[in-house]
Structure 1
Amino acid sequence: MHHEKRTFEFYALAAFFALFVLFLYGPLSAILILSFQGPDGGLTFPLNGVSTHWFANLFERQAVGDFGGSFRRSFTLGLLVMATTVTVSLLAGLAFRRRFRGGTALFYLSIASLVVPSIIVSLGIGVLFSQLGLQPTWFTSAFGAHLTWTLPFGVLIMFAVFNRFSPVYEEAARDLGATSWQTFAHVVLPIILPSLIGVGLFGFTLSYDEFARTLLTAGTFNTLPLEIYGMTTNVTTPVLYALGTVTTLFSFLVILATLGIILGLARRRGRAAA
């Protein structure tokens, strides 16, 4: 059997990919291992025994840090941002299917925040709230700051989806007597639903992990990224690693659940087509 000879480009790409995986998962692996440090262990290797002590410590009252409260705030904020991003991105995608006066300018304005440094956006929103005499909070000013990050991505994704969307299906539905709402609900929405779920997941993860745009807009109470950052200068036990492990596993579970939903929808659509 003839085997094709590997080229230099293949090995170069393989080496680059190996380095990428190392830089991506190496630190996560170290945090995962150190989170199982023994009760008397420290923040560095070697392990002083193996235990789940620091995971249990997460649920105890801490001298520094508010794990539960910061997680609830980040989770709630992520859900709010996700719902808003999906809704606005869908409406924008539908609106831009037709040309209208000022559409090009509106498009560039909607994605302009992607090229503005995140800390400048955070500073600007914080200053604006102060000038208006309003107290910045995680569910008002931080919510708006996160939308300046998630909405452009959501809009761009929906533009790509509708750019590939054939109007033939809608025309067939209208020819059969369906109203505009019935056409959207029973034809358009089921086709684009996996993409909408992807937009929702993207919006949630961008918000859940966002640090810079939250720094000057969260007000008195921290979100989880701010809490973790604050703890790095105050916490001297592996409980910080345990928190990192739990939040990372939570993120992976969200991704797996979303992929399961998307694949389930795809299989159901395939059975319906058959």
Structure 2
Amino acid sequence: MEQRPRSFYILTVFFALFILFLYGPTLTIGILSFQGPQGGLTFPMNGVSMHWFFDLFEQQAVGDIWGAFRRSLALGLMVMVTTVVISVMGGLAFRKRFRGSGALFYLIIASLVIPSILISLGVGLIFNQLGFKIHWATSGFGSQLTWTLPFGLLIMFAVFNRFDKSYEEAARDQGATPWQTIRYVVLPIIAPSLIGVALFGFTLSYDEFARTLLTAGSYNTLPLEIFGMTTNVTTPVIYALGTLTTLFSLVIIGACMLALMVMARRRARHGSDAGRGV
């Protein structure tokens, strides 16, 4: 067996430290959330129990945890659907060059380099000037779209740049209308990418803090509620909440990955059946 060079072990240690740096804080919060009833916010742990998870489901003296969760969930779903629809439409539109397409492209992605707090401030000011009420479902929704849409559009631009147009030509040769071509040919082919865009849209919205800070109005989303709890909650219940929200995000990601695997298997099965002439 060929001996590995010393650089391999050095880089392995560096990678392990990098992983620890990324996930160490999350693991620490997860561990501390299992403290006993007399536990505090730091190590060493004072017992091990599920006390603080059960405490989450009781009447809280401060905050509106479950109301904030429902608002974040609803907002995430709204942003997800809107991001997918507009990203697909934008990807289809940019398949052909048109006057001003380059400038429009850079205008679309410009919000990614603008500080998030300035986006939040700007959207809030616009709603105030227009006389509209600042609310998480209106101004907060619009502010978050400035974050999710550029990612969705960039993904769809890449997808359509690789898309084989011969599938569409074959559908049109068979008499399919433009809408039928998109519905029965284009969308099924790009479906895995649509799931990726949906995942981006939901998770970016669900975890967003800065762009929602000045646009949520009087009702907090979950990230804002957690931030508020850091100033007045002195028990590990905040760690339990963080652990549950992290698990919820992982469940969403896992469900999307499972959907992608199922779609890949179906596509492979259909391809093998077509190859056998079934």
Q: Shorter-normalised TM-score: what interval?
A: over 0.9
1:63 match: secondary structure: coil
Quote how far apart the aligned CAs of 1:85 are.
Answer: 0.2
Deviation at 1:130, TM superposition (A): 1.5
Counterpart residue number, 1:68:
66
- How many angstroms apart in 2 are the aligned matches of 1:164 and 1:7? 41
- Look up the equivalent residue of 2:114 and give its one-letter code: V
Q: Which amino acid aligns with 1:134?
A: F
1:250 aligns with 2:248: yes
Superposed counterparts of 1:15-26, under 5 Å = 15-26=13-24
> Which digits, 9 at most, give the CA deviation of each residue in 1:248-269, with x for residues without a partner?
0000000000000011011101
Structure 2 counterpart of 1:42: 40
* Counterparts of 1:54 and 1:219, CA distance in 2: 29
Q: Give the counterpart letter for 1:258 in structure 2.
A: C
Deviation, structure 1 residue 6: 2.6
For structure 1, which runs of at least 5 residues remain unmatched after alignment? Answer: none
Query: How far apart are the structure 2 equivalents of 1:21 and 1:99?
Result: 42
Say which SS state the counterpart of residue 97 (structure 1) adopts.
coil
Q: CA deviation at 1:7?
A: 5.4
Q: Give 3-state SS (helix, strand or coil) of 2:104's partner.
A: helix
Given the alignment, which residue of 257, 267, 276 partners 1:259? 257
Q: 1:15 to 1:48 in 2, by over 3 A?
A: same
What secondary structure sits across from 2:99 in the alignment?
A: coil
The number of residues matched between the two structures is: 272
Match of 1:130 in 2: 128
Distance 1:267 1:76 in 2: 31
Read off the aligned partner of 2:102 and give its amino acid letter: T
Per-residue deviation, residues 204-233 of structure 1 (Å, max 9, x unmatched):
000001111011110001100111011001
Structure 1 CA distance, aligned partners of 2:131 and 2:177?
A: 48
Q: Distance in 1 between matches of 2:5 and 2:260?
A: 36
Q: 1:176 offset after TM fit, Å? A: 2.2
1:112 aligns with 2:110: yes
Q: Distance in 1 between matches of 2:58 and 2:214?
A: 29
TM-superposed CA distance for 1:132, in Å, is: 1.8
Aligned equivalent of 1:203, options 201, 204, 222: 201
Using the TM superposition, give the Cα deviation of residue 13 of structure 1 relative to its aligned residue in structure 2, in angstroms: 3.3
User: How far 1:4 sits from its partner (Å)?
Assistant: 5.2
TM-score by length of 2: 0.95
Alpha-carbon shift at residue 16 of structure 1 (Å) = 3.0
One-letter amino acid of the structure 2 residue matched with residue 70 of structure 1: A
Question: In structure 2, how many angstroms separate the alpha carbons of the residues matched to 1:189 and 1:91?
Answer: 11
Alignment of 1:207-218 (within 5 A): 207-218=205-216
Read off the aligned partner of 2:266 and give its amino acid letter: R
Query: What SS does the corresponding residue of 1:89 show, helix, strand or coil?
Result: helix
Write the distance in 2 (CA, Å) between the matches of 1:206 and 1:244: 16
With 177-186 and 112-121 compared, the bigger mean Cα shift is at 177-186
Q: Which amino acid aligns with 2:170?
A: A
Question: Partner residue of 1:240?
Answer: 238
Question: Greater CA deviation, 181-190 or 240-249?
Answer: 181-190
Distance in 1 (CA, whole Å) between partners of 2:130 and 2:97 is 37
Shift of residue 59, structure 1, vs aligned partner: 1.0
2:29 aligns with one of 9, 31, 42: 31
Aligned identity (percent) is: 69
For structure 2, the residue ranges without an aligned partner over 5 or more in a row are 273-278
CA offsets 1:8-32 (integer angstroms, 9 cap, x no match): 2x34432332122101221111111
Instruction: Return the TM-score normalized by structure 1.
Output: 0.96
